[in-house]
């Protein structure tokens, strides 16, 4: 079974703190994604990585950065957390190729910024 894990299920941080959310997958997937999930807005892509050290901005990258130093690990960084970044954050991974399409999701991290 594919497994995507996230470092925390719940996180509470203060405004201005630097926040690290980590995601690890165990299926040697090339592609990894960070989404933000908000009620009424669905899932919005923050950043995407298609290989080690490679990244691409998604639809809402402002206020976020990412790091992928190893294939299995993809980190989302909030350089200076703000209250409008309170949300559910979902990580996902997928093989890169012409015959694969299913994305596997982590359990999510519910981040509260006070």
Partner 1 sequence: AQTVTQSQPEMSVQEAETVTLSCTYDTSENNYYLFWYKQPPSRQMILVIRQEAYKQQNATENRFSVNFQKAAKSFSLKISDSQLGDTAMYFCAFMKSFEISNFGNEKLTFGTGTRLTIIP
> What residue ranges bind partner 1 (CB under 8 A)?
4, 30-31, 33, 40-45, 48, 50, 56, 58, 90, 95-98, 100-103, 105-108
Nearer to partner 1, 74 or 81 (CB): 74
Q: Encoding tokens for residue 101?
A: 């399409």
Q: Which is nearer to partner 1, 35 or 81 (CB)?
A: 35
The residues that bridge with 87 in the sheet, in sequence order, are 111
58-67 long-range contacts, CB within 8 A, separation 24+ = 58/33, 58/34, 60/36, 64/34, 66/34
CA 84 from chain center: how many Å?
17
Query: How far is the C-alpha of 72 from the C-alpha of 82, rounded, in Å?
Result: 28
- Residue 75 and residue 64 in contact, taking contact as beta carbons nearer than 8 Å: no
**Shortest Å, Cβ 85 to partner 1:** 19
- Nearest distance in Å: CB 75, partner 1: 19
The minimum distance between CB 86 and partner 1, in angstroms, equals 18
- Between residues 84 and 97, which has the closer beta carbon with respect to partner 1? 97
Residue with smaller CB distance to partner 1, 36 or 81 = 36
**CB 45 to partner 1: min, Å:** 6
């Amino acid at each position: 079974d594919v497994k995507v894990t996230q470092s925390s299920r719940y996180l509470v941080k203060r405004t201005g703190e630097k926040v690290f959310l980590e995601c690890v997958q165990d299926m040697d997937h090339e592609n990894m994604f960070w989404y933000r999930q908000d009620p009424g807005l669905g899932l919005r892509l923050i950043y995407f990585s298609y290989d080690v050290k490679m990244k691409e901005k998604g639809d809402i990258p402002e206020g976020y950065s990412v790091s992928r130093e190893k294939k299995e690990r993809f980190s989302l960084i909030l350089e200076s957390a703000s209250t409008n970044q309170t949300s559910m954050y979902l990580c996902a991974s997928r093989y890169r190729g012409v015959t694969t399409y299913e994305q596997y999701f982590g359990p999510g991290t519910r981040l509260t910024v006070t």
